[in-house]
Amino acid sequence: MRVLLLTNEYPPNIYGGAGVHVEYLSRELARLTDVEVRTFHDHDIVDGRLSVRGTRLDGAQFAGCPPHLVSPLKAIGTCLAFNGQGIEADIVHCHTWYTHFGGVLAKMLYGIPMVITVHSLEPLRPWKREQIGRGYDFSTWVERTALELADAVISVSGSTRDDLLRLYAIEPQRIEVIPNGIDTDEYSPVSEPETLARYGIDPARPYVLFVGRMTRQKGLYYLLRAIPQLDPEVQVVLCAGESDTPALQGELEDLVASLQSQRPHIVWIPEMVSRSTAIALYAHAAVFCCPSIYEPFGIINLEAMACGTPVVGSAVGGIKEVVVEGETGFLVDAKLSPSPPHDPTDPEGFARGLAEAVNRVAGNAQMAEDMGRKGRQRVIDNYSWKSVAQQTLNLYERL
């Protein structure tokens, strides 16, 4: 079995859960079969049965193109290049809409089965129009075309499977639910107070941690609205990376600055930190908060739980399948609108619910310890990458 994975992201070029997924899946699959990964970056790696090959378009081809359309056009150009390089695989497996056109071409031109893992769905991310304008119409069309042509679609959660059946013409038997995984040897409790000191975090006081991009999807805005209602003894650590748009980034940064002027102990880390730093931040946190308004799975919750940290999350999507209410954390009803853009209908109530749940955990050290221990055991028992890779290979073999 020769497997070809197509991906935008691959380490060190990772900005979301899909990149983490491909990194670990490719590594584990390569223990079982031959794997080639093609990326949108400058990779050239051979490691046993795993090879990683990058294709980076320099952008010169898009001189004069409206800036917001460059990203979708570069995606299509890269997918053409992937196929122009020749394909000798037995199966092609795509991750995120950026690579879907490459999978469609490989299926049609090379006659091999196409698998798509759904990490998110374009119709449920309407705010992307703020980023890429009419490119969002194009990404939605590419996604629909590819998913309805795919020989198999892997959904990372039962919730996402329901969305697929509701939004697209896909026969139920073509959808396989295989969750994300976590390396619990790498993500585990550690003691690194020096990491906290580097960012000005007081190790003697509890803190709530946010890790994620500054996007509408990740719900950082609602956590910020919750901060004035947090116990004054609880520190807030916001590890926030790339934003959807400069306007949104400016809006969130101004809100953080205003909160910092009113309340001490708000630490703003405006970057995606290294993995080792993130593990230390997870492990020392009293509670991790995932306030997403759309989350097909939420691999960050596995990361926090593996580090022995309880989770307060919004009761949406795959979060409800990972976090066990009252046992490994608490779920907060986001009260989302049933129609696009699916924002909370009661944003103040959602923020208040987040604050109450965070205070409940951060103010009870014994509860936090118990929930953290149960959360780690849950990910050890249910979310290993070895299992994910074996289930994925079994699917390939059936196709």
Fold matches, 2-181+384-398 and 193-382: yes
- Characterize 273-282 residue by residue with b for buried, 16 or more Cβ atoms within 10 angstroms of its Cβ, and e for exposed: beeebbbbbb
Exposed (0-12), middle (13-18) or buried (19+): which is 385, by Cβ within 10 Å? buried
DSSP state of 13: B
Distance, in Å, from the CA atom of 43 to the CA atom of 24, rounded to the nearest integer, reads 16
| 193-382, CATH topology level | Rossmann fold (3.40.50)
Write phi, then psi, for 155 (nearest 5 degrees): -100, 135
pLDDT at 15: 82
Show the tokens assigned to 133.
Answer: 């304008």
The per-residue pLDDT for 371 is 98
Instruction: Output the pLDDT for position 323.
Output: 97
pLDDT at residue 66, as a whole number? 93
> Per the CATH hierarchy, to which homologous superfamily does domain 2-181+384-398 belong?
Glycogen Phosphorylase B; (3.40.50.2000)
DSSP states along 275-293: HHHHHHHHHH-SEEEE--S
DSSP assignment, residue 32? T
pLDDT in tens, 320-371: 999 999 999 999 999 998 877 788 999 999 999 999 999 999 999 999 999 9
> For residue 340, what pLDDT is reported?
74
Q: Enumerate the domain spans of the chain.
A: 2-181+384-398, 193-382
Please report the pLDDT score of residue 271 as a whole number.
82
3-class secondary-structure state, position 120: coil
Half-sphere exposure of 372 (CA within 13 A, CB side): 21
**Within the chain, which residues score under 70 in pLDDT?**
none
What confidence score (pLDDT) does residue 163 get?
A: 95
Residue whose tokens read 């991009």? 213
